[in-house]
Chain A
Amino acid sequence: MTDTTTELEPVVTATDQSKPLTPRQAMVRRALRHKGLLFGSAVILAIVFIAVFAPFLTEHDPFKQSLLARMKPPVFMGGDENHVLGTDALGRDYWARLAYGARISLMIGLLAAVISGLIGSTMGIMAGYFGGRVDTVVTFLINVRLAMPVVLVALAVVALFGGSLMVVVSVLGLLLWDRFAVVLRSATMQVRKQEYVAAAEVLGASLPRILIKDILPNVMNHLIVIFTLEMAHAIILEAALSFLGLGVQPPTPSWGLMISEGKEMLLFEPWMITIPGIALFLLVLAINMMGDGIRDVTAPEGRN
């Protein structure tokens, strides 16, 4: 039996016996000890920094082509210092495209998660709070949404409406709300049973007040966790759509587009797909680790 313990670390981390920690202090302490959360946050901060300060981190223009400097290898493969990560088939600086591409991925991920978060959490909270017919309708809508093949529908819509950033963001936002709705529905059902909600109802609090002041703060941690997961999901999907030629359009520096363009040189220059692929992988990995970390830190009883 000794080897079947499931606890990774003690849930209560108070070391100072004289002063018990407040829940908030305990949470901060858990956060600072959570390796995945720290690693994820550090990588995300680094990528956000690169995205924001891209113009200061490279003197090259991500759109400027140069036929004289095509397909230069990166520094670590014998290239020169002027183009640290080499140049692509049109002679554009790869590091500049990677840095500016971070803006596209982060922006699409954030906006799509905001749109889907608004739709999904509204539906989930409504279903969880009211139950009955509202719940039946929302559950049905979730089932319908789940039955629609995301990639296929997104590709079709982008093909029909054109591949602008706005279209890609909207279609992803309108498609990825299901997990918000599912999770917030059950979380709200739990919170709704609490006595403070009944108390607020008895005191005559208005419906918006109950939903915003009593329900929302108590399902917030679930909302944040799903937000990170869906942001990662949207970033991967944007890259996949762009890779298939039906996402954001050239010459926008999108990582998925860079992989798609690098595919043509697969045989001779495999580094061209490796670099943006690793960037994409790291970003999604970091967001997922941050989301898992937030879940562990805010709800330590729920981890396995």
Chain B
Amino acid sequence: MLMFILKRLGLALLVALTVSAISFSLLFLAGDPAVAIAGENASQQDIAAINERFGFDRPLPIQYLDWLRNAVQGDLGMSWYFDLPVTELIADRLSVTMRLGLSAITFALVLAIPMGVAAAARPNSLIDRAALLISVVGQAIPSFWFGLILVVIFSINLGLVPASGNETWRHFILPTVVLGYYATPAIMRLTRAGMIEVLSADYIRTARAKGLGTRKIMFKHALRNAIIPVVSLAAVQMGFMLGGSIVVESIFALHGAGYLAWESISRNDLPTMQALILIFSTFYIFFTFLADVLNAWLDPRLRVS
């Protein structure tokens, strides 16, 4: 088990390093960053001064190593637009995004697992069809549009919840529904497929033959085994959702890290952009690593390969 964790950890670090190198060079490919700061009509002296101050005239690999060394120490540079240390800026906003991500994954699991189990218990029944409808619609509905429709119905027409901001927990209701619904179809499908497979296993037949009640079979024997892949999918979805929060946060003006990403992109704030790409991908890498370890812990068969 320890060997397994160490191997996965090493791989995760390598992936994180590669992503950081790509995102770093990508943003420099776009053109001269000094011109981006100074503007199109800046004089030669201004450009030179900016190059000197930020060190843009050094070779790219050196700049990258420099940036990386500082990043590891928690210093992600200064934001060009906000004129604050990027680390401070992001730490401030990240709590909002984390709260949104946690409530969204909770929403998705609470909706998807019972629906998936019920659908698997009675395939082709009304509830199975309802579950299928929810997941087909969820895969096709654009989340930004879904968000706006919810605002029209629940904020403008019914006045039940606020449409934007992040002052109280009520501001998080609509964003949670939108982001959570995005993760629901995959979890529901996997729960249903896993349950159907497990329910045809021999030990379930044995349990039935012993005369155990349906509820006990479903929850104590079947779900326990069917849920293993769902746990790791949920962790991966959590990583995806944090990256997808940029759309949801900008619709609801929820001032989290996703909203900050949108702000920094529309203002050409390179250091903040780079840092956010790094942070969102680190989250994803962390959650997939967590998923692997959880999986190996729950299902010993996976540790061998």
- Using CB atoms and an 8 Å cutoff, list the residues of chain A in contact with chain B: 1, 3-6, 8, 140, 143-144, 146-153, 155-157, 159-161, 232, 236, 239-240, 243-246, 256, 259, 263, 266-267, 270, 273-274, 277, 280-281, 284-285, 288-289, 304
Contacts and interface: CB of A to CB of B under 8 A. Distances in A.
Contact of B123 (A6, A160, A236, A246): A6
The majority secondary structure among interface residues of chain B is: helix
B161 interface: no
Size category of the B interface is 35 or more
A8 B124 contact: yes
Interface stretch (B74-82, B84-92, B241-249): B241-249
B26 interface: yes
A304 B196 contact: yes
B136 A240 contact: no
Contacts of B125: 3
Given A147-B16, A147-B19, A266-B152, A159 B193 contact: no
B142 A149 contact: no
B231 interface: no
Interface string B252-288: 0000000001100110100001001100110011001
B142 A285 contact: no
A147 B284 contact: yes
B148 A152 contact: no
Given A266-B156, A277-B142, A284-B142, A148 B277 contact: yes
Given A152-B280, A273-B149, A160 B30 contact: yes
A281 B142 contact: yes
Contacts of B193: 304
Contacts of A151: 243-244, 246-247
Contacts of A140: 11, 14-15, 18
17 contacts: A3-B122, A4-B123, A140-B14, A140-B18, A147-B19, A148-B277, A149-B243, A151-B243, A151-B244, A152-B280, A240-B144, A259-B144, A266-B151, A266-B156, A270-B152, A270-B156, A273-B145
B63 interface: no
Given A239-B144, A246-B266, A263-B148, 8 more contacts: A8-B124, A147-B19, A149-B242, A153-B23, A245-B266, A270-B152, A274-B149, A281-B145
Given A152-B261, A152-B280, A6 B196 contact: yes
8 interchain residue pairs of minimum CB distance? A149-B243, A160-B30, A285-B140, A277-B145, A149-B280, A284-B140, A147-B281, A270-B152
Contacts of A159: 265-266, 268
B34 to A, nearest CB: 14
Given A232-B140, A273-B148, A277-B142, A156 B273 contact: yes
Interface of B: 11, 14-16, 18-19, 22-23, 26-27, 30-31, 121-125, 136-137, 139-145, 148-149, 151-152, 156, 192-193, 196, 199-200, 208, 242-244, 246-247, 250, 261-262, 265-266, 268, 273, 276-277, 280-281, 284-285, 288
Contacts of B192: 304
Main secondary structure of the interface of A (DSSP, over half): helix
A5 B261 contact: no
A155 B26 CA distance: 12
Nearest to A304: B193
A5 B121 CA distance: 10
Contacts of B144: 239-240, 243-244, 256, 259
B246 A152 contact: yes
Contacts of B23: 148, 153
Contact of A266 (B16, B148, B281): B148
Contact of B136 (A259, A267, A274, A285): A285
Nearest to A146: B284
Most buried by A among B22, B140, B152, B193: B140
A304 B200 CA distance: 13
A143 B196 contact: no
A246 B11 CA distance: 33
A288 B142 contact: no
A159 B267 CA distance: 9
